[in-house]
Chain A
Amino acid sequence: MRELEPGGSCHLRGAWSSGVITQAPTAVPSRSSIGSARSTVCGSHKPDHLEVTRVSTMFSSSQLDGLTPSQFPNSTPSPARLSRNTQGLVPATVKMISEASQSGDEKSNFIVDGVDVANVTAVGMAFNKNSRPSDIRFQLDDGTGRIECIRWITEKIDTREMDALEDGTYVRVNGHLQSYQGKKQLSAFSVRLVTNFDEVTCHFIECIHFHLQNSKAQSQGAALASQKADSSFSTPVRGASSGHQPALPNDFSMQYNSDGLKSFDKMVLNYLQQPSNIDREMGVHVDELSQQLKVPVAKIKDAIEFLEREGLVYSSIDDYHYKAVEGL
Chain B
Amino acid sequence: MDLQTLGQLLNTTLVFSTALIFAALGGIFSERSGVVNIGLEGLMMFGAFAAAVGGYYAQDAGMGAWAPWVGMLCAMAVGVLGSLIHAVASITFKADQTISGTVINFLAAGSTLYMVKLLFEGAGETPLIDGFKKIKIPGLSEIPVIGEGIFNSYPTTYLVIVLVIVIYFILFKTPFGLRLRAVGEHPSAADTLGVNVKRMRYIGVMLSGLLAGLGGATITLTTTGTFAHNTISGQGFIAIAAMIFGKWNPLGAFGAAVFFGFSQAIRNYVQLFDWSSSIPQEFIFMIPYVLTIIVLVSAVGRSSAPKALGEPYDPGKR
On whether the two chains bind one another, the answer is no
